[in-house]
Chains A and B, each alone.
Chain A
Amino acid sequence: RKEVEQDPGPFNVPEGATVAFNCTYSNSASQSFFWYRQDCRKEPKLLMSVYSSGNEDGRFTAQLNRASQYISLLIRDSKLSDSATYLCVVNRQFNKFYFGSGTKLNVKP
């Protein structure tokens, strides 16, 4: 079983829509959680960390459910510039990061 699993998508949504992605992780010892964004043929960049209590950064909201071992990312008021692949990342020890294969988002005009 993969450490981190994501729906590959693509999610095709119109501008202004709200879209949500989930990610599940297999190891209950996972300690820290992140969403990275990766544009086509570019390197991943940190979008936001995911805190136990949930956290929001502008139009982006991240949630963590330890009991069910999943992480979610909600994007409100989607922009064309949000089109990218969103990578779910979990960390077990300080140097052990496990990346999901990503969920592709296409925001259409």
Chain B
Amino acid sequence: SQQGEEDPQALSIQEGENATMNCSYKTSINNLQWYRQNSGRGLVHLILIRSNEREKHSGRLRVTLDTSKKSSSLLITASRAADTASYFCATDGGNQFYFGTGTSLTVIP
């Protein structure tokens, strides 16, 4: 089931620019995860941030979490054409797993 919401639904940027995607959720969580999906491929895990963390970095990725607002953001810096994909957030509340609706990112070379 998908109960999260992401915005924007679609994002198109020039190579080298930064891309920011946002995710909002409704339930209390243990952690929040970001995934990417390329066409015809399964989800690939990018980064996990726990509920007691506020910010996390992994390479060109930066994730923030605001549990008071029930929201998270994913920032991809210095984007590349290969970053073109769909990005999903997922929240793990312990008993259930909820996915956002996804953001389609297009990076124009």
The finding on whether chains A and B are genuine partners in a shared complex, rather than unrelated, reads no
